[in-house]
Amino acid sequence: MNGFVEAMIEANCFYDLRPDETRSDNVFQRVFAQDCSAEELVWHRDKKDRTIKVVSGVDWKFQHDNELPFVMKVGDVIKIKKETYHRIHKGEGRLILEIEEND
């Protein structure tokens, strides 16, 4: 692990539901604008397992800890285990994700 990720572990950094998002049972949609700030795209971990489906976006990348980033394509499904570090890298236009949380 690199120093940044280790610092995040010590800080107990979790990414929770933002105030502008709505939830339907265990599924919600998250939108990242082209001009989103760098703070929205930091290494983080989630409190629950998540399955993410890419609804819209061009050249946005996803990265698991200790792995190279890969380009997300519309229709891709990405599984994320709870408490594992990951991040998104900015692409073109808006990124829309459908996120399902599981205990």
Is the domain spanning 3-102 CATH 2.60.120.10? The answer is yes
> What mean pLDDT, rounded, does the chain reach?
83
- The pTM of the full predicted model, rounded to 2 decimals, is 0.77
DSSP string, 42-100: S-BB-SSEEEEEEEEEES-EEEETTS--EE--TT-EEEE-TT--EEEE--EEEEEEEEE
What pLDDT score does 39 carry? Answer: 85
- Tell me: pLDDT of 38 over 80: yes
Q: Averaged over 22-48, what is the pLDDT?
A: 87
Q: How much of the chain exceeds pLDDT 90, in percent?
A: 62
Answer yes or no: is pLDDT of 83 > 60.
yes
